[in-house]
Amino acid sequence: MMTLVAFAISIGYVFSVAATFLFPGESLYWEIATLISVFLLGHWLEMRAVRGATGALSELARLIPPSAHLFKGNHTVDVPTSQIKLGDRVLVKPGEKVPIDGLVISGETSVDESMVTGESRPIGKKNGDKVIGGTVNQDGSLTVEVTKVGIDTAIAQIMKLIREAQASKPNVQLLADKAAGVLFYVAVIAGITSFIFWFFVIPQGVIFAATVAVAAIVIACPHALGLAIPTVTTITSTLGAKNGILIKDMKGLEIARKLNYVVLDKTGTLTRGEFGVTNKVDARILALAAAVEIHSQHSIAKGIVNEARKQKLKISEVKDFKSFPGKGAMGTVDGIKVAVGNRALLLDQGIHDKSKFPSEDQGKGKTPVYVIVADKLTGVILLADIVREDSKEAIEKLHDMDIKTAMLTGDTKDVAQDVGKQLGVDTIFAEVLPEEKVNKVKELQNSGNVVAMVGDGVNDAPSLTQAHVGIAIGAGTDVAVESADIVLMKNDPMDVVKAISLSRKTNAKMVQNLFWATGYNVLAIPIAAGVFYPSFGLLLKPEWAAILMSLSSVIVIVNALWLRRAKLD
């Protein structure tokens, strides 16, 4: 674009200088001066719009308060937030912003986290809870121990993701860039041809020929085409971030509009992943199980440990801890070998005991976890999870959008059926081992579906990568976030619907913008080249060509800016 404008201006200028000093003739000074002014005005408007769109980054940076109350012994001193180190303790007073990420060590309050998660309800915080820098403390005062500083803080991570997203190009932009490249040659050829035509074929004098050539080049400038997509994507990433949807890769969001199958992980995605123990378990067995599970990240493990703590059981040290993803875990407790897990783990341990525990029958829809002590099956712990209220609505909305849903889980068929029925999902894949999850996604893809995978766990990471669109939920585990194209800050399945809606809206804007950017200019090229001059006397002067060219850029920018107002649902 710059080359073309420089080219057009140079021709006009050289020609005018020659007309002034070398041969008598009219000059194009006025035309090229107007062209430059209009062009600069367009550029100024564009910069303003772009700055408005990238404002999300500076808005986020402003969330972090400049100073914090740092504890020095029993009293506090105010220090710049940037000087706070890991392990420091800071005081957060009512109504103040939390300066940095940390753990609450005393005090109780609720915190408005909407700027980070998009969740508008204040979240209750007490001892041991995580707080995020930049969120607003409401009514209580808190002492916070700093757990993250610098680029590790949540806000810094979000800013990094937004920057990455803005740098990632959707495929349609690569296409637009190519088209802009082609349009460059079209412009040069249109300019040269019209000069030759109006100078040699139907001689109208050099002034006329040069004016027409300059106008044709200017009108063909693919300026708007270069803006059409980036203006939309910057606004999309900002709008997404405001709704708790972080887009890591624009290509993923681009495909999301075509989705017709969404696969959701059960535990932690459709359900809360907060397991409670529902049967009476022998205290010794529970304590042994908890001793092993205390080292596991799995939500089932957390449920077992919580129950043991609730019963104030002594949780011993474990040696030789080993985890078997999708099956369970084992270790040595007080010299006894203890394994905790599902049927698959029992088989691995060579226990083919088909006997049922009496309590298992009342356990319909509950997840059984077997406890093997010294190679003998000695107990079962039944756990139940809670289905998220939003899951049902999300599944319904997806169906409304003509998208099928599947639930993928390592849990038993019983539990999967139970949850699946409650939610109305179309397909249920149960008792799937972590390494097979990815095959289920492939199966759906091979039958011609465009598939999204939604998950939170380490074991979901391969499927997130395999799916056309990988969506990590609840800002899950780091591995899940790494493998995903889209990261949802909240644990709300409705945000999957929002992300798809954002994708569709973004795409519509891109198509409109491409239309305005090309259609408009391409139509005006023949007019500028003087095609309609002989019969209608219709001609486009260079200054008008410049105005039209800038106008198409302005239309493209304004059209993109409208996306900022879009509501996602």
Binding region for ligand ADP (CB under 6 A): 265-267, 293, 296, 298, 300-301, 326-329, 340-342, 367, 369, 409-411, 434, 457, 459
Q: How far is the CB of 302 from Mg ion (least distance, A)?
A: 12
When binding is defined by CB under 5 A, the residue of 46, 88, 265, 390 that contacts Mg ion is 265
521 binds, among Mg ion, ligand ADP, none (CB under 5 to 8 A by kind): none
317's tokens: 């040290």
E strand or H helix that includes residue 323? strand 318-324
Q: How far is the CB of 5 from ligand ADP (least distance, A)?
A: 57
211 binds, among Mg ion, ligand ADP, none (CB under 5 to 8 A by kind): none
- Could you tell me if 435 and 442 are in contact, meaning their C-beta atoms sit under 8 angstroms apart? no
Q: How far is the CB of 392 from Mg ion (least distance, A)?
A: 19
Rank residues 218 and 371 by Cβ distance to ligand ADP and give the closer one.
371
Rank residues 134 and 457 by Cβ distance to Mg ion and give the closer one.
457
Count of other CB atoms within 10 angstroms of residue 156: 19
* Rounded Cα gap, residues 391 and 531, in angstroms: 61
Q: Is 268 in the site for Mg ion (CB under 5 A)?
A: yes
Q: How far is the CB of 326 from Mg ion (least distance, A)?
A: 10
Note the residue count of the chain. Answer: 569
Which parts of 197-312 fold into alpha helices (H)?
206-219, 223-242, 250-256, 283-293, 299-310
Residue of 235, 255, 251 lying closest to 243 (CA atoms): 235
When binding is defined by CB under 5 A, the residue of 267, 491, 513, 553 that contacts Mg ion is 267
Three-state SS string across 466-488, please? Answer: HCCEEEECCCCCHHHHHHCCEEE
Report the relative pairing of strands 328-333 and 336-341 from DSSP bridges. antiparallel
Classify residue 248 by its DSSP letter. S
225 binds, among Mg ion, ligand ADP, none (CB under 5 to 8 A by kind): none
298 binds, among Mg ion, ligand ADP, none (CB under 5 to 8 A by kind): ligand ADP
> Whole-angstrom distance between the N-terminal and C-terminal Cα of the chain?
38
Catalytic positions: 265
340 binds, among ligand ADP, Mg ion, none (CB under 5 to 8 A by kind): ligand ADP
250 binds, among ligand ADP, Mg ion, none (CB under 5 to 8 A by kind): none
Stretch that binds Mg ion, among 31-39, 258-266, 382-390, 505-513 (CB under 5 A): 258-266
251 binds, among ligand ADP, Mg ion, none (CB under 5 to 8 A by kind): none
Report the relative pairing of strands 404-408 and 142-146 from DSSP bridges. unpaired
Count of other CB atoms within 10 angstroms of residue 120: 8
Q: Is 411 in the site for Mg ion (CB under 5 A)?
A: no
* Residue of minimal Cβ distance to Mg ion: 457
* Residue of minimal Cβ distance to ligand ADP: 410
How many helices (H) and strands (E) the chain has is answered by 21, 22
Token pair 């209009």 is found at 38
Which residues sit opposite 371 in a β-bridge? 340, 379
513 binds, among Mg ion, ligand ADP, none (CB under 5 to 8 A by kind): none
Rank residues 409 and 552 by Cβ distance to ligand ADP and give the closer one.
409
Q: How far is the CB of 45 from ligand ADP (least distance, A)?
A: 50
Rank residues 57 and 458 by Cβ distance to Mg ion and give the closer one.
458
Rank residues 366 and 468 by Cβ distance to ligand ADP and give the closer one.
366
326 binds, among ligand ADP, Mg ion, none (CB under 5 to 8 A by kind): ligand ADP
Backbone angles phi, psi at 271, to 5 degrees: -110, 170
Residue 222: partners with Cβ closer than 8 Å, 6 or more residues away: 1, 4, 179, 180, 183, 184, 187, 517, 518, 521
Rank residues 242 and 302 by Cβ distance to ligand ADP and give the closer one.
302
Q: How far is the CB of 279 from ligand ADP (least distance, A)?
A: 15
Find the binding residues for Mg ion in span 118-137 (CB under 5 A): none
Find the binding residues for Mg ion in span 448-487 (CB under 5 A): 457
266's tokens: 């059960």
Q: How far is the CB of 462 from Mg ion (least distance, A)?
A: 13
Count of other CB atoms within 10 angstroms of residue 446: 10
409 binds, among ligand ADP, Mg ion, none (CB under 5 to 8 A by kind): ligand ADP
Query: Chain centroid to CA 406: how far?
Result: 21
- Could you tell me if 292 and 330 are in contact, meaning their C-beta atoms sit under 8 angstroms apart? yes
Rank residues 212 and 313 by Cβ distance to ligand ADP and give the closer one.
313
Burial status of residue 355 (CB atoms within 10 A of its CB: 0-12, 13-18, 19 or more): exposed
Which residues sit opposite 131 in a β-bridge? 102
Please report the DSSP string for 382-442 in residue order. EEE--B-HHHHHHHHHHHHTT-EEEEE-SS-HHHHHHHHHHHT-SEEE-S--HHHHHHHHH
Q: How far is the CB of 471 from ligand ADP (least distance, A)?
A: 15
Rank residues 113 and 265 by Cβ distance to Mg ion and give the closer one.
265
Q: How far is the CB of 457 from ligand ADP (least distance, A)?
A: 5
E strand or H helix that includes residue 181? helix 171-196
* Rounded Cα gap, residues 162 and 447, in angstroms: 34
Q: How far is the CB of 136 from Mg ion (least distance, A)?
A: 31
Rank residues 142 and 346 by Cβ distance to ligand ADP and give the closer one.
346
Count of other CB atoms within 10 angstroms of residue 128: 8
Rank residues 240 and 457 by Cβ distance to ligand ADP and give the closer one.
457
Which spans of this chain sit near Mg ion (rule: CB under 5 A)?
265, 267-268, 457
